[in-house]
Structure 1
């Protein structure tokens, strides 16, 4: 690129490309059947060159999906090389090791053609409600128990559906209509992206994406390396974070260093594999590790193949972050979503003014089930399978409080209770912020939530618990206090405590109560602005007794 005018044109084309992939994602949201997509935005969308390198991602989406999808397209191309693809072809998989880490995520890759020539690839991922098997939960002892396993296959060929594929899909799910509809939605959103890409190429008279890809990759790579160079070089920063685990607590270790234009993270010392579905495939580990690093080191640089390349992970075999086939991985997010906090723990030693305190991190998204599959002939409600996404508080920031009930690092939206009640016979009796749950500090953590859920007719139902940060609450930084740990139980007089993980039946007449964790605080609580403490007390978020005890005010 030789002239300033050409650089300006490339920048305009880049902005246009972002609009293309965002329309791709919004098409999925508008057409999806699963509430996890249309209400929570648990998805990713992006455009790739013919070598399978991600050029741009939609703003809408989650890091676990986006950064895993960035690796996945290369696996598709190994089985179906670009030159063999035809217009109207769509390829699909939910392979946890080739895509985004568990069977409940479908990844679709589709070619884009202009004047009969393939010019690019579109990919997307979406979380679907049910894929059969035991359902979304940690109880499986191998991936084969966790649901229907789809290798990389064609779901559409030359625009025509693969009816054999769809027969298997419909027969293997508790929610066949939603599952089939979501697959059509994923293919439609890639088609929408391809259409807009061709229009863009026609407008700018582009014969290929090669020059634009080179501009994007060169700019992103050099900018990322420049940011890495600002860090102390050759110094090792170490971090540790604990999870409640399943059979036993899990500890994640990381040793990080900046050298030679790279960030290298070594996870040696991390706990070993679990017999249950909390294990993490390595691509999902890399996805959230890279996200945690980018949030601190290079947040303004676009997320693509080149900007991710300087982040290198060393994940030892046999640790819970490098699960081999066929280990169970259904709820890999419970461990995987702690990784950005682990990355910030390391970076707090290098750039303390750019990290957050620990937050609730892992989503509290209870999979609920009812009807005859729980109560048999005594069932009082129709069969249902539903999942609702909710979050505790985020960690405090250097100059701002944490966010209340907001998902970080996943970024999914909290699902409105009305949307869930509309598609399943459940009732949300309470959904409110949890007082005194925020970790104290100069800037405090975000508040968690209290939720109370029952079935219609006060019928028996079940929860496949996948919760964390109960025995190991989010920690503060630099003198800030811990956020409140979570709690799972019943609404009975005794406050019966339930297990934080695993399939459990909520008896007739009882409700499930969830108390979500609060985020950790940052800095000495005694340095907090008294006006902010008074505001929290007036809002009913901090009790007068706690304000006096912790902040010395009130």
Structure 2
């Protein structure tokens, strides 16, 4: 390939990124669920006819993107590309064929040019309610967790499958939002397909095969080159989760080979009877992300760039849940995986990793009305989820980020958006002083949140929190972040369970103290001016500055 051809391929690649980003933005603009519209809990991408992901939108979460990358192959196994027609849309929320739990809908749509299929678009979005027990860990099988949708057509040549939509609406507490989200997902794929055809016309391309070959070859070669720069060897680490019935330990042995990285999760805790189990695709998704952000962060994320990362997930462990184990809140366990992977890579490339962070989202599903209080209900029925985060771990050269979602990457939802769609009030949402782990670079700060129903009416939370019994660890002498806390705002400081359905009594509010990120390096080496700044900002108390950092005042 000569220089001019390489330039043209790069232009086409940039155009392809614009196509999938418009695909994602269409979903955000048209989605009914606040989880998509406000938090960006989604993924979008374009695939070749073999089901290999060429490009993903900049907007999206690793758990969705990297799981979705596997899911398109399952769609093609049931509906081969040759059988697809213009206007067809296919859907599933199967946790083992999609992104790990029933609350994620995945839609696949063919793109046609001049009567010939030229590519596939896929997306995933987290929806508010899919029926069953609701989003939470209480289910003892996937069948209790909500409406289970196999891979089916939701649109047949542009005509909605009314039988499908009848089942969908009747099985959800939020039928309007759910149906609207399905239409949104289909519309976003249509937007991507339209732009792809325009791109092919502009560049006089009959297919995307040659471009796909260029993307895959370049990405694979670049990833292998980055792996070759790493020190060979096997590096082991472990991390603890609060679990549900008992604490959970995740273990990994990461082996750096000449042209691949293998991760073996032998020694990881066994399956849970509750919904904190992780389907294998979701385990691979976040494990690959943990490797990629350290080893090859600048290489595009696609089928080829992820191919050298291989996982061995033993049967019977919590990271390899088989059907029909409950998996509703698989993220509580799965989002610890990047920290686990970085614990391994810290031994090989210590200057590239961050300290442990709050990791798992603190996204409380809230419910109220007659479904909680019966005839004594003082508010209308509601079901809502709000996304929030603690602090990220310190970086080698910078402090951690405050109240920021890592590794999921979703946005914190504005309290006004949640208050607009449900009868809840956020009485407090502020950074949590002294929650960041101390260090030469400190961790990010967690948050304090106080949530109530209007009129301080009774409501319920389906708690899905972690990092309460196991605080985020610092690295290289850095201090641990502050652990999380879940309870009521009463004078006694009543403590609630970190997982499971619980009623907040009338006159009381839910109080959450989100974890802070771990620090990195000796706290004594921190620039005194930065300590003074944090004290002046009210983020570090004067007592902690003296005690932890040795400040003179």
Same fold (TM over 0.5): yes
Report the 3-state secondary structure (helix = DSSP H, G, I; strand = E; otherwise coil) of the residue aligned with 1:236: strand
Paired with 1:541 and 1:272, the residues of 2 have a C-alpha distance of 39
Paired with 1:289 and 1:491, the residues of 2 have a C-alpha distance of 37
Provide Cα deviations, 1:440-461, integer angstroms capped at 9, x if missing partner. 0000000000000000011000
> Which of 283, 286, 292 is equivalent to 2:284?
286
Deviation, structure 1 residue 277: 0.1
Q: Which residue number in structure 1 is paired with residue 25 of structure 2?
A: 26
Provide Cα deviations, 1:53-73, integer angstroms capped at 9, x if missing partner. 000000000000000000000
Does residue 325 of the first structure (1) align with residue 316 of the second (2)?
A: no
For residues 67-86 of structure 1, the aligned pairs below 5 Å read 67-86=66-85
Q: Which residue number in structure 2 is paired with residue 91 of structure 1?
A: 90
Q: Which residue number in structure 2 is paired with residue 165 of structure 1?
A: 164
Deviation, structure 1 residue 260: 3.5
Provide Cα deviations, 1:159-203, integer angstroms capped at 9, x if missing partner. 000000000000000000000000000000000000000000000
Paired with 1:491 and 1:298, the residues of 2 have a C-alpha distance of 45
Report the 3-state secondary structure (helix = DSSP H, G, I; strand = E; otherwise coil) of the residue aligned with 1:432: strand
Paired with 2:224 and 2:2, the residues of 1 have a C-alpha distance of 24
Paired with 1:546 and 1:297, the residues of 2 have a C-alpha distance of 36
Contact 2:227/2:258, CA 8 A, preserved across alignment: no
Deviation, structure 1 residue 541: 0.4
Q: Which residue number in structure 2 is paired with residue 215 of structure 1?
A: 214
Structure-2-length-normalised TM-score = 1.00
Q: Which residue number in structure 1 is paired with residue 239 of structure 2?
A: 241
Paired with 2:243 and 2:519, the residues of 1 have a C-alpha distance of 24
Provide Cα deviations, 1:74-102, integer angstroms capped at 9, x if missing partner. 00000000000000000000000000000
Q: Which residue number in structure 2 is paired with residue 377 of structure 1?
A: 375
Q: Which residue number in structure 2 is paired with residue 454 of structure 1?
A: 452
For residues 322-401 of structure 1, the aligned pairs below 5 Å read 322-401=320-399
Provide Cα deviations, 1:96-153, integer angstroms capped at 9, x if missing partner. 0000000000000000000000000000000000000000000000000000000000
Paired with 1:11 and 1:492, the residues of 2 have a C-alpha distance of 60
Paired with 2:168 and 2:47, the residues of 1 have a C-alpha distance of 27
Paired with 1:226 and 1:250, the residues of 2 have a C-alpha distance of 36
Q: Which residue number in structure 2 is paired with residue 484 of structure 1?
A: 482
Does residue 46 of the first structure (1) align with residue 15 of the second (2)?
A: no
Matched residue count: 552
Deviation, structure 1 residue 3: 1.3
Paired with 2:322 and 2:249, the residues of 1 have a C-alpha distance of 19
Deviation, structure 1 residue 518: 0.1
Paired with 1:290 and 1:536, the residues of 2 have a C-alpha distance of 35
Report the 3-state secondary structure (helix = DSSP H, G, I; strand = E; otherwise coil) of the residue aligned with 2:351: helix
For residues 501-540 of structure 1, the aligned pairs below 5 Å read 501-540=499-538
Q: Which residue number in structure 1 is paired with residue 123 of structure 2?
A: 124
Paired with 2:122 and 2:314, the residues of 1 have a C-alpha distance of 29
Paired with 1:481 and 1:37, the residues of 2 have a C-alpha distance of 35
Provide Cα deviations, 1:460-514, integer angstroms capped at 9, x if missing partner. 0000000000000000000000000000000111000000000000000000000
- The ranges of structure 1 where at least 4 consecutive aligned residues each deviate by more than 2 angstroms after the TM superposition are none
Provide Cα deviations, 1:230-264, integer angstroms capped at 9, x if missing partner. 1112x110010000000000000000011140000
Paired with 2:501 and 2:150, the residues of 1 have a C-alpha distance of 28
Report the 3-state secondary structure (helix = DSSP H, G, I; strand = E; otherwise coil) of the residue aligned with 1:400: coil
Q: Which residue number in structure 1 is paired with residue 181 of structure 2?
A: 182
Does residue 101 of the first structure (1) align with residue 100 of the second (2)?
A: yes
Report the 3-state secondary structure (helix = DSSP H, G, I; strand = E; otherwise coil) of the residue aligned with 2:43: strand
Report the 3-state secondary structure (helix = DSSP H, G, I; strand = E; otherwise coil) of the residue aligned with 1:353: coil
Q: Which residue number in structure 2 is paired with residue 431 of structure 1?
A: 429
Paired with 1:12 and 1:206, the residues of 2 have a C-alpha distance of 14
Deviation, structure 1 residue 372: 0.3
Q: Which residue number in structure 2 is paired with residue 35 of structure 1?
A: 34
For residues 494-505 of structure 1, the aligned pairs below 5 Å read 494-505=492-503
Structure-1-length-normalised TM-score = 0.99
Paired with 1:209 and 1:20, the residues of 2 have a C-alpha distance of 13
